[in-house]
Structure 1
Amino acid sequence: MDKHKKNISFIAISAVIGFMIAIQFQTVKNPVERDTRDLWQLREALLQEKEMQSDLLREIRSNEEKLLAYESKQKQSKEQTLIDTIQELKIEAGMTEVQAPGITLRIEPILEKVQIGAPISNSVSPELLKRLLNELNRYDAKYVSVDDQRIINTTVIRDINNETKIDGHALSSLPIEVKVAVDKMATAEKLYNQMKVSKATEEFFIENLKLKVLEPNPEITIPGYDNPIRIRYLESIKASEGGNS
């Protein structure tokens, strides 16, 4: 038994020694290579490294310029988006002039009744005018003006000292033109046909007035609202209450 253990130990030791000799032989056979280049070759290699470094710096600078240009473009895009949004809001609020297809309604006295001595109506009542505007809204009127006064959501039509006024503008004499604009010509033609058979004509006739519906026009000009828009019940919030500081 002891002899067997001695044989195993001898074999193991021999294997380790042989492995170490093999490694030493391989190291001697393949010695570490030394840089045998002369001074000019080293300078040339250094020059190549510097050129490579310069190329990398140029590429980095180019990428930085592209990044700055992209960020500037994004900023300009945001500013343009804000400008476009403000313009859209002004259009929706009725603060800009609009040119679009539409029709013109003319309110004028009935000449036949004038000839027979009937009383002459020289103005239109606020109630009659409001009913006309409500009917136009039901027929998809988008932009409306009365006597060149833009009608918006906050427009006030009322009687002041027996005189009909629109946001302070007096409708002092006839005829009065009501201009109505829509999105497209087909809608204008539809609106024309609806107003031709509207009961509004009869309502104006009862008040000794004629409501004349003119042919559709591919370009009706609706003026912008030129009075201050009063905003009630709105308050600006502090930055700490929902905005950025």
Structure 2
Amino acid sequence: MLAVQFQTSHEPTVRDTRDIWEIRQELKKEQELHEQLLTEIRKYEETLEKYEQQREESKGAILRQTVEELKKEAGLTEVVGEGVVLYVEQMYDESYVGPVTDTVSADLLRRLINELNMYGAEHISIADQRIVNTTVIRDINGVTKVDAHPLRFFPIEVKVIAADAEKLYNRLKASTIADDFALENLQLTISEPQQRVVIPPYDGTVRVEQMEAVEDDRR
């Protein structure tokens, strides 16, 4: 006990022997380090903010791209691509005597569209009327209509875009669809594959059935 007390009482006191200048220098270094750390923190915060902004912008870009793709699939945008153009004309010579066909039957047009789809057609228009999933082709009082558009004048132009225009052309040439038109005194002419075929957007009202809004109940 006495030994411990003796050792403690005789242990020298450690004092800061630095002068004022040295202490100021140390304080300055600490302040510089503190500022450097704050600068690094701000830099990382700005980097994180940029990443968040880019992610939000990326989400928006993806959403816009998805909307455009859906609109394209629905036929609501103009499309340009390789394809062929078909012309439907009356087939009469000067010696013909009899009734004159002044329209093309709805049934024949539907058969043509079915064949085009089988042969790889991606986009179709008839007399500049875009054909979409909801398009109705029917006979009203002896006049064939594509939706509400009447087909009263010849030639009737049918534009088709396909991934492989050459293949589409060859299959159409080998088809008997032209003979079906001839039976109605109509001539179906198929153009050579073209590099640029422009098909207009659907200009009607898209009918959406069996769909309803869903309320977002997330908290």
Q: State the shift of 1:169 in Å.
A: 0.4
Partner in structure 1 of residue 92 of structure 2? 111
Q: 2:212 aligns with which of 235, 238, 241?
A: 235
Supply the distance in 2 between the matched residues of 1:196 and 1:110 (Cα, whole angstroms): 18
Tell me if 1:208 matches 2:189: no
Q: Report how far residue 150 of structure 1 moved.
A: 0.3
Q: Deviations over 1:200-232 (max 9, x none)?
A: 111111111111111110110011101110111
Partner of 1:127: 107
Q: How does 1:1-245 map to 2 (within 5 A)?
A: 33-112=14-93, 115-183=95-163, 187-240=164-217, 244=218
Following superposition, the deviation at residue 66 of structure 1 comes to 1.2
Unaligned stretches of 5+ in structure 1? 1-19
TM-score (norm 1): 0.83
Rounded Cα–Cα distance in structure 1 between residues aligned with 2:211 and 2:76: 20
Number of equivalent positions = 219
Contact residue 92 and residue 185 of structure 2 kept, 8 A: no
**Which structure shows the higher helix fraction?**
1
Counterparts of 2:10 and 2:2 in 1: how far apart (Å)? 12
**Aligned residue identity for 2:183:** I
Q: Provide, for residues 9-60 of structure 1, a one-character-per-residue CA deviation record: whole Å limited to 9, x for no partner.
A: xxxxxxxxxxx99999998999564321111111111111011101111111
In 2, the alpha carbon distance for the partners of 1:24 and 1:115 equals: 141
Q: Secondary structure at the match of 1:78?
A: helix
> Aligned-residue CA RMSD in angstroms?
2.2
1:217 maps to a residue whose letter is: Q
d(CA) in 2 for partners of 1:140, 1:24: 103
* 1:80–1:32 distance in 2 versus 1, CA, 3 Å: farther
User: TM-score, length-normalised on structure 2?
Assistant: 0.92
Task: Check the 8 A contact 2:89/2:155 in 1, yes or no.
Answer: yes
User: Partners in 2 of 1:22 and 1:129 — Cα distance?
Assistant: 117
- Identity value in percent: 47
Q: For the residues of structure 1 that align with 2:4 and 2:123, how far apart are their CA atoms?
A: 96
**1:60-92 CA deviation, whole Å, 9 max, x = no partner?**
111111111111111111111111110010001
Unmatched segments (≥5 aa) in structure 2 = none
Deviations 1:93-133 (A, max 9, x none): 00000000000111001133x53224321110000000000
Q: 1:161-208 deviations in whole A, cap 9, x for unaligned? A: 11101110000121101110012xxx1011111111211111111111
Kindly tell me: are residues 203 and 25 of structure 1, through their superposed partners in 2, closer, same or farther at Cα, counting changes over 3 Å? farther
Q: Give the conservation status (yes or no) of the 8 Å contact 2:89–2:154.
A: yes
| Whole-Å separation in 1 of the counterparts to 2:3 and 2:184 | 124
